[in-house]
Chain A
Amino acid sequence: MNSKKPLTGGVLLFKVLEQQGVKHIFGYPGGAIMPIYDALVDSDIQHFLCRHEQGAAFSAVGYSRASGKIGVCLATSGPGATNLITGLADALADSIPLVAITGQVSSSAMGSDAFQEVDIFGLSLACTKHSFQISCIEELEGVLFRAFEIAQEGRQGPVLVDIPKDIQLAELPEQYKFISNTFREKTNKVADVGSALALLSSAKKPILYVGGGVGMAGAVNELRDFISTTNMPSVATLKGLGAVEPEHELYLGMLGMHGTKSANLAVQQCDLLIAVGARFDDRVTGKLNEFAPNAKVIHFDIDAAEINKRRYADVAIMGDLKANLPALAMPLNIDSWRNSCAHMHDNFGFTYDDYPQTNIYAPAVLNAISNKLKESGKSDHSVITTDVGQHQMWSAQHMSFTDPSNFITSGSMGTMGFGIPAAIGAQISRPDDIVIAISGDGSFMMNVQELATIKRYQIPVKIVLIDNAKLGMVRQWQDLFFDGRLSETDLSDNPDFVMLATAFDIKAKQITQKDEVTSAIDEMLAHEGPYLLQVKIDAKDNVWPLVPPDTANDKMMENS
């Protein structure tokens, strides 16, 4: 930081970011944020110029989710700010700590429908955990500290700070007294688990329902210790994948709409459901009043608003999982239930060898990538991001993850266009690890401009583009639930993806036949720079199993 420069709002912003330990930020400049970008020139923080503000927000999300650090993104006023909104909504829905800085028109122009003016403060109410608009230079430092605190405390989420241009330019008065960072220490108070212990000790068929909150709480080790002590069967949500050791003999995989048969059947049969950082999302429960119909519920969560929101909890244990989960651990006498779950685990697994055609079976490709990472000892040092659609569910079903931070997908919001910028952020936060974005041809085009970011910084992400020339998941539902009346799901006029990637100096290859898969994966993983592997698949391939909407999870449709 150049100390000779006057301490303006813009300079102060970077001073606080540096104090918060921020090393990398993602953004896009514009008129109302120019003083901040001017101050950036003298900062040690590395800025990544994305090619759309939505890309900046998703890169910040990917950065945060891969590293556990806070993600920071910047945008100008008006359209720059509104372009952030989808990313903020995604971060709110998946509880990801972000700080978004937006430039605003000068205070005197606010409310006058000025050029590139939008009420981003008002728009932020529904898509952030909290938001601020700075009204004077003296409050900027305190608000920024508070923004970082709010983003990370309790249930994490995005915080927006809107800074008018005149305040970015304003200088702090000489008598201004800097405040110290007053981040409050977390207190790990152990909740009273007496009632939960009584429920658990009398349960004959308990099961652990693991959500994204485990990873967010940094409680993966505590969860695994709990499983080790109880030797209890477990299932996971989409965002909980990676929390349980994937090889555990009683881990039944993902539950819910596209969950495994064994996970869904076991949950439907259990007599005690221990929800850990999970929120009974509609994609998990299916028909809510038929979900785990015989189970009592113990619900661990840090957010009081999740207790009894969709399913009554017989016992609620509020607070920090790291402190509370070990208090419930005890050996259990449930061998009959364990044997039943192990039987389901062994008999209802996925198979890959009976795909009848020479065409490529996407689940087999994804499983092969996952196995290749495992065989080469790189599972702990690899990150998979996905976009949204069939390829996302296939990734969740057919790949295995050793930590929640190694699988980054838009869970609650289900945002197409997430995968590529999230992979960019993940790769920047973990430069020595392998980052692979699994995308679909629909999703890929939604933030395709971020290939320019990959090119500019030579970010070595690998992109596996599962291409069926369709909006595959919507097509699947139209076939299954709308009498096959296909409506606006054909993407057969897609561009030449290999040529497109090549235009961004990204090495690319297309494969169309099953016997090309192994060598293509090897080539992709061996390539040092960015790489796009286009995998052509049959447009009629579906994701199975599938629990139809408003249906109990044990009434799933299977491939027949």
Chain B
Amino acid sequence: MNNYQLIILADDKQVVLERILQVTRYRGFLINGMNAKVNTGTHVATIELMISSERPIELLVDQINKLIDIKGVKVDNSASQ
């Protein structure tokens, strides 16, 4: 099992967090931890996901990037193993 940390920037729109969690589960990743906050000035949400899976992280990054309200997804390599 590989552990990863994702940092996701998203427009603060309806159910964006639910969408990310649904895609993460469906694509075969376990969520081990999460931090989420919204910058009320820019209306941008920052979501950190600590996840694990046997699958390569690129598969999930591409799927999250497809979500309409996502501004960017980064893999935090310092936290991933």
Chain A interface (Cβ within 8 Å of chain B)? Answer: 121-122, 125-126, 129-133, 150, 155, 303-305, 307-309
Contact = CB atoms under 8 A, between A and B. Distances in A.
B63 A305 contact: yes
Nearest to B25: A126
Contact of A305 (B18, B19, B26, B62): B62
Contacts of A308: 58-59
A304 B15 contact: no
Contacts of B66: 155, 303-305
Summarize B's interface: helix, strand, loop or mixed. Answer: helix
Contact of A304 (B18, B26, B62): B62
B54 to A, nearest CB: 15
A43 B12 CA distance: 35
Contact of B22 (A125, A129, A133, A309): A125
Contacts of B22: 125-126
A125 B16 CA distance: 10
Nearest to B64: A305
Contacts of B58: 308
Interface of B: 14-15, 18-19, 22, 26, 58-59, 62-63, 65-68
Contact of B15 (A121, A303, A307): A121
A132 B18 contact: no
Given A150-B68, A303-B66, A304-B65, A309 B59 contact: yes
B65 A125 contact: no
A188 B14 CA distance: 31
A304 B60 CA distance: 11
B8 to A, nearest CB: 15
Interface centre among B26, B59, B67, B68 (most CB of A within 10 A): B68
A323 to B, nearest CB: 21
Nearest to A305: B62
Contact of A132 (B14, B19, B26, B62): B14
Q: Which 8 A-B pairs have the closest CB atoms?
A: A305-B62, A130-B68, A125-B22, A304-B62, A305-B63, A305-B66, A125-B19, A126-B22
